[in-house]
Amino acid sequence: MSRPKILYQCQGCGYSSPKWLGKCPDCGAWNSFVEETLTLRNAKLRKRETADPVALSDISHSTASRHSTEIKEFDRALGGGVVLGSVVLIGGDPGIGKSTLLLQALTGLTKLGKVLYVSGEESPEQIKIRADRLKVKSGNIILLPETSLEGITSIAQEIKPRAIVIDSIQTIFSLELPSAPGSVAQIRECATKLMFFAKKYNIPLFIIGHVTKEGAIAGPRVLEHIVDTVLYFEGDKGTPFRILRAVKNRFGPVNEIGVFEMTETGFKEVENPSQLFLSERPLNVHGSVVAASLEGTRPLMVEIQALVTTSNFGIPRRTALGVDYNRVNLLIAVLDKRIGMHLGSMDIFVNVVGGLKTEEPAVDMAIISAIASSFKNTAIDPGTFVFGEVGLSGELRAISQAEIRIKEAAKLGLKRGLVPAGNAGNAKVSDIEVIGIRNVEEALEILFF
């Protein structure tokens, strides 16, 4: 038996070092090293059954290996249903609704047979209360209040579930490791073992992970490498809307989103999110404009708001909610330099309504328009939408999928679109007046004639 070896491991990224370090050389986190005792497994233990090599052409796979969770928006985020044998990690802020959504999704999978809900955080009674509220009745859902990995896998071997949910990975620990639950070593070990289990029995495995203050899945980024699909559950707690976004998917497109509304009886799918995001839009107010953005393959009309006020402090405040802060600063600089709009002494707040987050460059033009509208105290016509990437010299650059954005706008009854000149030619949609724009100056002239 070899002596246990002591290692220090970064709880942020899993980097290990033989001595304690104040700053992680890999991910740059401070004070993130924790002592982990690693029992070195001897060679006999390590030896697994070896796999036989197979010719690619000899592998048969059935195309029907995807299954619907009966929640269309969830299927969509997964890339069209859940793949058997795949491991899906779901992260999100505390209380955002991870357990609720997975209980609902698991219910959809009971058509395959028994499914297992492993809860290390809540008692079966608590889950029952939730299930009653969600009107989940299936006798095929088996609850397991267990936190040891060995216990979970042995019970799973017995009842042979057709899908497993682990709620949450931070509470599960392996008896083979001395480190505390939630540490990098434990999370990595447990996730890997569970993954082997899912692949071996060809069942989908959903792992819930808590996120840290910084928004990453707590502990290990290594976890994101182990799993097939990573979904983030986002949303503003003040609103009932939640967005499930695929940030990694070995079986489908990334950035695909599913949109939900939280209700008393659980999550409802939102089939027309554009309508929802624009439903409470105040008309004819300063600093508001409709942007045609695209999330995954789905066009999404959102309201972008800006508020520009004289700053009371020496250094003006800049706040960006739902869009990139640096991007907003860049666009402010473009307005200042190219249009001569003096925003240097102004506090500027930019917000994407509905708690949506977007990194799409196509919303650049909307951010600029909203800021200009608030600065000029002039409302933008509510039937108008804008999109386009703005370059440093104020030029409007063409973006992808212009036509489906304009079609979405037509569906919502919008009348006029200011779009990059490069997109205007090949985007003819009836009922919409499409105006090709070459630069920011031209756009602002039309918006505030």
Ligand X SMILES: Nc1ncnc2c1ncn2[C@@H]1O[C@H](COP(=O)(O)OP(=O)(O)OP(=O)(O)O)[C@@H](O)[C@H]1O
Residues near ligand X (CB under 6 A) are: 92, 94-100, 121, 133, 262, 264
Whether omega for the bond prior to residue 174 falls within 30 degrees of 0, making it cis, is no
Q: Residue 24 binds which one of Mg ion, Zn ion, ligand X, none, with CB within 5 to 8 A depending on kind?
A: Zn ion
Q: Select 122 or 381, whichever has its Cβ closest to ligand X.
A: 122
Binding mask 6-45 for Zn ion (x = CB under 5 A): ----x-xx-x--------x-xx-x----------------
Q: Select 12 or 219, whichever has its Cβ closest to Zn ion.
A: 12
Q: Residue 361 binds which one of Mg ion, ligand X, Zn ion, none, with CB within 5 to 8 A depending on kind?
A: none
Residue 224 near Zn ion by CB under 5 A: no
Among 86, 99, 358, 373, contact with Mg ion (rule: CB under 5 A): 99
Q: Select 120 or 420, whichever has its Cβ closest to ligand X.
A: 120
Q: Which stretch binds Mg ion (CB under 5 A): 35-43, 97-105, 131-139, 188-196?
A: 97-105
Distance in Å, CB of 121 to ligand X, minimum: 6
Distance in Å, CB of 422 to Mg ion, minimum: 46
With contact defined as beta carbons under 8 Å apart, do 251 and 228 qualify?
yes
Length of the chain: 449
Q: Residue 15 binds which one of Zn ion, Mg ion, ligand X, none, with CB within 5 to 8 A depending on kind?
A: Zn ion
Q: Select 86 or 99, whichever has its Cβ closest to Mg ion.
A: 99
Tokens representing 232 are 């983030």
Distance in Å, CB of 390 to ligand X, minimum: 37
Q: Which stretch binds Mg ion (CB under 5 A): 98-106, 111-119, 371-379, 402-410?
A: 98-106
Contacts to Mg ion by CB under 5 A: 99
Contacts to Zn ion by CB under 5 A: 10, 12-13, 15, 24, 26-27, 29
